[in-house]
Structure 1
């Protein structure tokens, strides 16, 4: 008889399964991607809206959104493991879910190097460790290549716009900021105390970023796109003396790649690195 599986999650809780999970629900698109990446796609029985990669994920039964779950549907699906995005899912919904006594495992990669650990732990919970190990190796090889290629390049002052109204960004403890660092960028609001600070237009102008990035929420393929005519960035065109505007360094980054804390984050990094490299060339 196989030994029980015991794994610690990002909430600091320890989960023990008597046998590998066979019926898994993922409460974030990135978590569904991670399950597929480690060879557990056939074990997924439910996911939240916007879970669309790989294409098979689009066919999974929907159990609501990250903010509102259909608990009746969850119960009917009879999961033996629920993967939770620690800070991405509404806490009131997670509390309701916990009352059902279904095993839950919280994940929240905060930097690029946390993602292999998430893959390794999911692989253990599903007993797909051979496939997980291969996925981890691919990820680390790509990460190492990007570090070699961009690690020594000149710093670029970078502003990442999460949303325009209210004007939101991210600090240095968010995964996207780690992507910016990987590419040789410096997050101009990285030292802010809040994970997702709200800003004034004046504070961005004063920071004088060389590059302004935002996510293309329509996906946007796999490459960075110069976005001088993007409506969500139009406010910055009023400030012609700001470095990013003067050198035409307003960019859209594929949203599915940069906003999901999963295995494709390094593809998002490739797009960010391309944008920052363009800024270096125009100095």
Structure 2
């Protein structure tokens, strides 16, 4: 079994435990949030405000875009959400505008003050968090239940899993087992995507070996010397990130930079890579396409 299929197999208990029973308006169904608090809704939510792009994308991927009445400023996909009222973000929510939209529920993440402020005003808040593939599968089914479509989250994750498995077979053989460094944010000590994160699971599933292993946090801050010692064969960054930066000594010796192993993902596509939503297969496809370009005989002469 491929490493990706092994990773995906871990979600099977989630699929198996979510019984796809049809919801009816007067029947209670209870999505469970990230803090394991039951949120019972007498009927499916029809007025939803999303404060996270990945939740917005998931709602739409589940066929519930029409239920959205407001989204955060970073929600740009699918295109139809661009016409919805913007309500700030988790860091600076427009509470007054959210209340004026009369939502049945607001989708948020744990650990933000907005939850208490909204609940104090009588607004229902559903807090969800997805850090791994297993979390993502559960969040999709929770949102499906919220929309009154139990089982659709399970089916969406299965289709996504099938796409991921197909993409794993498209990786050029020369990249199998190569070491990778995925940079999220730059600076003297850059933030990396660790092996335990959903980004790390994607990299592992594609046959790559993450230099930020499971002994590190999900998103560790790595000093330049750590990366030099790890000597990755591949570096993945957003296009605007200059590699190597002038303040990172020794980086010109890294194998990835000596052997044309740098995937510079266009900024408008990079968001797909770092959002734990229903487009995780598209994120994997972006990496596969870059590796395919790097494997071409004339790749050293081409622009990434």
| TM bracket, shorter-chain basis | 0.7 to 0.9
| Residue in structure 1 matched with residue 72 of structure 2 by the alignment | 48
- The match for 1:112 is 133
Q: Corresponding residue for 2:18?
A: none
The match for 2:223 is 200
Check conservation: 2:90, 2:112, Cα contact below 8 A: no
Question: Which residue of the other structure, out of 210, 235, 240, is the alignment partner of 1:212?
Answer: 235
In the other structure, the counterpart of 2:92 is 68
Distance 1:194 1:114 in 2: 17
For residues 234-245 of structure 1, what are the structure 2 equivalents within 5 Å? 234-235=244-245, 239-245=251-257
Q: Is the 8 A contact 1:164 1:232 kept in 2?
A: no
Q: TM-score normalised to the size of structure 1?
A: 0.84
CA distance in 1, matches of 2:172, 2:132: 16
User: Equivalents in 2 of 1:72, 1:36: separation in Å?
Assistant: 25
CA separation of 1:6/1:239 partners in 2, compared to 1, >3 Å: closer, same or farther?
A: closer
Query: What are the residue-to-residue correspondences of 1:151-230 with 2, within 5 Å?
Result: 154-165=176-187, 166-216=189-239
Partners in 1 of 2:168 and 2:251 — Cα distance?
Answer: 33
Contact 2:44 2:146 in 1 (8 A): yes
Q: Secondary structure at the match of 2:133?
A: coil
The 8 Å contact of residues 39 and 131 in structure 1, kept in 2 or not, is answered as: no
CA distance in 1, matches of 2:292, 2:206: 8
Seen in structure 2, the aligned counterparts of structure 1 residues 98 and 185 have a Cα distance that, compared at 3 Å, is: farther
Number of the residue aligned with 1:222: none
TM-score w.r.t. the length of structure 2 is 0.78
User: Partner residue of 2:10?
Assistant: none
CA distance in 1, matches of 2:257, 2:85: 44
Match of 1:265?
280
TM-fit CA distance, 1:136 = 3.6
Q: Which residue does 1:141 correspond to in 2? A: 162
Structure with the higher strand share, 1 or 2:
1
Distance 1:237 1:42 in 2: 51
1:133 Cα offset (Å): 5.5
Q: Which runs of 5+ in 2 are unaligned?
A: 1-24, 298-304
In the alignment, structure 1 segments of 5+ residues that lack a partner are: 217-229
How many residue pairs end up in the alignment? 266
Residue 232 and residue 67 in structure 1: after superposition, are their counterparts in 2 closer, same or farther (change >3 A)? Answer: farther
